[in-house]
Amino acid sequence: MERRWGITIPLQGLPLADQRELIAELPDLGYTDVWSAEANGADAFTPLALASAWAPELRLGTAIVPVYTRGPATLAMSAATLAAAAPGRFALGIGTSSNVIVQRWNGIPFEEPYKRVRDTLRFLRKALRGEKVTENYDTFQVQGFTAGVVADPPPPLLVAALRPGMLRLAGREADGAIINWLSVDDVRTVVPHVHEGGPDKEIVARIFVMPDTDAETARGVARRQIAAYMNVPVYRAFHEWLGREELKPMWQAWESGDRKAALTAIPDTVVDDLVVHGPAAHCRERIQQYMANGVTTPAIALMTQGDPAAAVRALGLK
């Protein structure tokens, strides 16, 4: 598999309309991919559409689009349009997202997440090939949908996965998995479940990075992010499965309503495991350790404050 080096867009700290020059520079810096996300900021498709024109050499990917917040046909249309605009350069990553995004923010019941991902994946396989789909899935029904835009080739499909059931689904029925918020050593626990579906599956990892940031500042920023994520039920269950007992005091403080105590309860060791920080050369080496343990495509997610240009350039491979 081709060696890849990706980064998450849009880049924080710079208006989207002002990112053209920096994104156009990415291939010269050694980046091969840009990966988008979708929560409460930019949608997943618009930044990639811009990047497809600004830097036509780059591969584009969503990591991820929630399976609940767009109807199946609308999701297929969005994916097919971008895949047709950038033939052979787009990968569609889908996932459950979280109860916060799906239910609290969008008013959609967060029910049967495994089945919803599985059903959406099966629907997309047919729809993105241009097949007419009439199917009663467990979590939704589609009656007579045929995509009016069909990309050649259809985009590969990746599944965001945390625990064994979804990881095995990603390996069995998708083209790979997207993993998130885990340490270098955790990769060895996670990846074998995907590889039950075949050794050639792509493993995309969103890796949070703060290059050239002093440890105190980096840990302060990282603690806030860890607390925000690890108290969401799906991420708490993931780290409980990984055996991260050091987070128990944080969970207990959070449940009691003491947010300040929850932050201080997160050990430095956990912060340093989950967020890469330090000199840029050290950060690059750390990302490469993820790859040595089974990640095929790192999707660097910068957590630095202010203009991201220096950090983007510092982490490039060229």
CB neighbours (10 Å) of residue 215?
Answer: 13
- CA gap 62, 48 in Å, rounded: 8
pTM over 0.85: yes
DSSP at 82: H
- CA gap 217, 155 in Å, rounded: 40
**Which phi-psi region, left, alpha or beta, contains residue 258 (left: φ > 0; alpha: ψ -120 to 50)?**
beta
* pLDDT for the residue 1: 58
CA distances from 171 to 10, 32, 89, 190 (A): 28, 23, 21, 11
Considering only CA atoms, which of 92, 221, 101, 96 is closest in space to residue 157? 92
Domain residue spans of the chain? 6-212+279-315, 213-276
CB neighbours (10 Å) of residue 235?
Answer: 17
- Please, are residues 312 and 22 in contact by the beta-carbon 8 Å criterion? yes
- CA gap 177, 28 in Å, rounded: 27
Q: What is the DSSP string of 247-258?
A: GHHHHHHHHTT-
pLDDT in tens, the chain (318 residues): 578 999 999 999 999 999 999 999 999 999 999 999 999 999 999 999 999 999 999 999 999 999 999 999 999 999 999 999 999 999 999 999 999 999 999 999 999 999 999 999 999 999 999 999 999 999 999 999 999 999 999 999 999 999 999 999 999 999 999 999 999 999 999 999 999 999 999 999 999 999 999 999 999 999 999 999 999 999 999 999 999 999 999 999 999 999 999 999 999 999 999 999 999 999 999 999 999 999 999 999 999 989 999 999 999 998
- Please, are residues 136 and 66 in contact by the beta-carbon 8 Å criterion? no
| Topology (CATH) of 6-212+279-315 | TIM Barrel (3.20.20)
